[in-house]
């Protein structure tokens, strides 16, 4: 029975994937329709796009409940030097952006949600130098997840030291050991080959870091609530690190296959070189976009379903919206794992391709 | 600028990029040194131990089987030996009995022959004596007869 359940869950997950992939477009479409009605019916109308984007995007505060939120510190670097102040100063009690006067005048841009420097006449100064290093909601989540991942795995490492190698794993250790072994035996070994041990710490780190952040993103309130792994900066940095790791470990054979493909006629070699070279960059970019799009789409989909209640202005809509949202949520739990797995798996694959030795000369002839 | 026209959703924040880079390197360093290394080492050691234990068990099993075979062979050999010994003992017994029987027969025959010889001898002696006695009686009777007459 349990097996049957898992099987149908997998089928549901696959179906969910297709749904999710179209999720962004759908949500955006819904948003547009709503925006139109907002324009015609006036300010009071519920704006689904704004609500969803508010949840998906980064912010300077961390909303707890009702009107309570944690005011995170804002850190700016301008031509007048470093500026640190609480994000409390950026909004008034009605949650409207207000001007904060520090070394410059700062105000939140309503559209982008970012801080801008104001000119003396109150218009925004887009040319002024402004680097924003604020501890935003995403950065706070990032630091929290760093702490969590360190605490979890250091405690497990301790458990191995304490309990020795002769006893069976226990507790958290027994839950995570199969996953560590899964990363090693099913991701690293088959894709990288005999030299996999060197890359294990890297693969394990990205796998668990992505997974933990995907899961944190699914918690709708305080310790979670941020859409960190669905943030393009997060996935970009990971993809960049993968890009560097892959290309630094690449051997001569790999570059030869890119610039002068062996075993094909020379016009073909010339034709393939730019394509292969583009592939070098497209691979990490695809990693970046896949993780970002899947996680963000999932968030948007769940939020859009919940927003249906407000769009129809009827509690009865919850009868449809909530079960659907729960369904998508369950799929999201799976996707959280799956996306971490796919990211790690493709990373291992790219590393494997980069360090593969030249042993199939005959295959090209 | 290309980036400035992007939707804020797909526009990476410089701040988050920097924080993320720093954080990920800290995670990589801390976990790489204090978590992944000891965990993977422990798991590897345990796997080796289990593998060793399995090989050892197989070896012991093979040894046990060998021992059992040896024991059986020994037992069979012992049984055979016992059978041979029993047979030999029986043969010897039979031989002794037969010999004894033969000897007894010879003895008996000899005794019987001796006895018969003795009997004959006695019989002859008795006959001779009877003959002598009869002769004497005849003489005595004759003398007496002649004397009276």
B11 contacts on A by Cβ (under 8 Å): 232
Q: Please spell the DSSP secondary structure of B33-49, one letter per residue.
A: IIIIHHHHHHHHHHHHH
> Based on C-alpha coordinates, what's the Rg of chain A?
24
Selecting from B15, B28, B45 the residue whose C-beta is nearest the C-beta of A165 gives B45
A284-288, A339-343, B145-149: least confident range:
B145-149
Per-residue pLDDT of A213-239, as tens digits, reads 999 999 988 888 888 999 999 999 999
Query: Is the overall model pTM greater than 0.80, yes or no?
Result: no
A100-101, strands of its sheet edge to edge = A100-101, A105-108, A115-118, A124-125
- ipTM of the complex in this document: 0.81
| C-beta atoms of A153 and B31 within 8 A | yes
Q: Which two tokens stand for residue B5?
A: 């026209």
Q: Which two tokens stand for residue A71?
A: 């005011």
CB pairs under 8 A between A and B: 121
Q: Which residues pair with A105 in a beta bridge?
A: A101, A118
| C-beta atoms of A138 and B16 within 8 A | yes
What's the pLDDT score for residue A24? 38
pLDDT band at A189 (very low <50, low <70, confident <90, very high): very high
Q: Which residues pair with A78 in a beta bridge?
A: A81, A130
User: Which residues fall within 8 angstroms of residue A109, CB to CB, at 6 or more apart?
Assistant: A97, A115, A116, A124
Per-residue pLDDT of A268-322, as tens digits, reads 889 999 999 999 999 999 999 999 999 999 999 999 999 999 888 888 889 999 9
Domain limits, chain A: 61-132, 137-364
Domain limits, chain B: 11-148
Q: Which two tokens stand for residue B22?
A: 């720093």
Matching residue, tokens 């458990």 = A159
Q: Which residues pair with A130 in a beta bridge?
A: A78
Nearest alpha carbon to residue B40 among A7, A202, A92, A270: A202
pLDDT band at B16 (very low <50, low <70, confident <90, very high): very high
A234: closest CA of chain B, how far (Å): 6
Per-residue pLDDT of B78-115, as tens digits, reads 999 999 999 999 999 999 999 999 999 999 999 999 99
A81-86, strands of its sheet edge to edge = A81-86, A73-78, A130-132
| C-beta atoms of A233 and B17 within 8 A | yes
């Amino acid at each position: 029975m349990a097996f049957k359940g898992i099987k149908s869950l997998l089928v549901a997950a696959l179906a969910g994937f297709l749904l999710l992939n179209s999720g962004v477009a759908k949500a955006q479409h819904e948003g547009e329709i709503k925006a139109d009605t907002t324009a015609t019916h006036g300010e009071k109308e519920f704006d689904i796009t704004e609500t969803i984007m508010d949840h998906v995007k980064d912010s300077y505060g961390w909303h707890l409940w009702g009107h309570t939120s944690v005011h995170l510190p804002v850190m700016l670097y301008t031509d007048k030097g470093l500026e640190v102040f609480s994000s409390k100063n950026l909004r008034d009690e009605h949650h409207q952006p207000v001007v904060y006067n520090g070394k410059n005048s700062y105000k939140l841009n309503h559209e982008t949600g970012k801080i801008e420097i104001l000119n003396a006449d109150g218009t925004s100064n887009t040319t002024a130098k402004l680097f924003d290093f604020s501890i935003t909601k995403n950065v706070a989540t990032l630091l929290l997840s760093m702490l969590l991942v360190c605490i979890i795995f250091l405690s497990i490492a301790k458990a191995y030291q304490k309990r020795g190698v002769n006893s069976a794993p226990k507790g958290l250790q027994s839950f995570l050991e199969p996953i560590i072994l899964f990363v090693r035996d099913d991701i690293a070994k088959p894709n990288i080959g005999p030299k996999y041990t060197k890359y294990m710490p890297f693969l394990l780190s990205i796998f668990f870091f992505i997974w933990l952040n995907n899961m944190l993103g699914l918690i709708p309130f305080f310790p979670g609530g941020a859409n960190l792994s669905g943030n393009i900066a997060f996935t970009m940095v990971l993809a960049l690190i993968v890009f560097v790791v892959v290309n630094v470990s690449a051997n001569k054979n790999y570059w030869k296959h890119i610039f002068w493909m062996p075993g094909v006629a020379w016009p073909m070699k010339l034709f393939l070189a730019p394509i292969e070279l583009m592939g070098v960059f497209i691979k990490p970019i695809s990693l970046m976009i896949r993780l970002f799009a899947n996680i963000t789409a999932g968030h948007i989909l769940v939020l859009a379903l919940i927003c249906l209640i407000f769009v129809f202005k009827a509690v009865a809509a919850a009868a449809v919206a909530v079960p659907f949202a729960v369904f998508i949520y369950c799929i999201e739990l799976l996707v959280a794992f799956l996306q971490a797995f796919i990211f790690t798996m493709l990373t291992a694959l790219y590393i494997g391709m980069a360090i593969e030795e030249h042993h199939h000369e005959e295959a090209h002839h | 600028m290309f980036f400035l026209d992007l939707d804020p959703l797909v526009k990476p924040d410089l701040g988050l990029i920097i924080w993320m880079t720093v954080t990920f390197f800290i995670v990589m360093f801390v976990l790489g040194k204090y978590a992944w290394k000891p965990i993977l080492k422990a798991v590897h050691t345990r796997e080796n131990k289990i593998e060793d234990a399995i090989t050892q068990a197989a070896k012991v099993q093979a040894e046990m089987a060998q021992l059992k075979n040896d024991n059986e062979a020994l037992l069979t050999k012992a049984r055979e030996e016992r059978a041979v010994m029993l047979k030999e003992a029986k043969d010897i017994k039979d031989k002794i009995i037969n010999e004894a029987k033969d000897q007894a027969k010879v003895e008996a025959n000899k005794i019987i022959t001796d006895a018969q010889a003795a009997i004959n001898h006695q019989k002859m002696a008795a006959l001779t004596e009877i003959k002598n006695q009869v002769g004497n009686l005849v003489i005595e009777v004759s003398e007496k007869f002649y004397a009276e007459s």
